[in-house]
Amino acid sequence: MRPVMDDLEDDYKEKLNIVLKGKGEDLSLEEQYRIKYYPTLLLIWKDEVVSRFQGLVNRVELYDHLNQLYSKIEKNIPLNGSH
């Protein structure tokens, strides 16, 4: 997962803020977002989780999903129920 996250950080550095936390590193975040499985990827927009991925994620699917979300953000389309 780390290589994918590093690529995302490089490719989306002007658009997204990417934060990587390990298990047990921030218990308050784990409780707040009810993280039970690792890895878990949360996509948060305006303090709301708009997508959640648990387990390993296919790079192509993740990039496609991020591009769709970002397109909606640019067009001011609501993100609820995106994934």
Q: Quick one: 2-74 is in which CATH superfamily?
A: Glutaredoxin (3.40.30.10)
**Is it the case that residue 26 has pLDDT exceeding 60?**
yes
The rounded distance, in Å, linking the Cα atoms of 83 and 32 is 19
Yes or no: say if 32 and 41 are a contact pair by the CB < 8 Å rule: no
Task: Enter the pTM of the model.
Answer: 0.73
The rounded distance, in Å, linking the Cα atoms of 8 and 79 is 20
Confidence at residue 64, expressed as pLDDT on a 0 to 100 scale: 92
Confidence at residue 81, expressed as pLDDT on a 0 to 100 scale: 53
Confidence at residue 32, expressed as pLDDT on a 0 to 100 scale: 92
Q: Encode pLDDT of 27-72 as tens digits.
A: 998 999 999 888 888 888 888 888 888 888 889 999 999 899 888 8
42 Cβ partners below 8 Å, 6+ apart?
A: 33, 35, 49, 51, 52
The rounded distance, in Å, linking the Cα atoms of 27 and 29 is 5
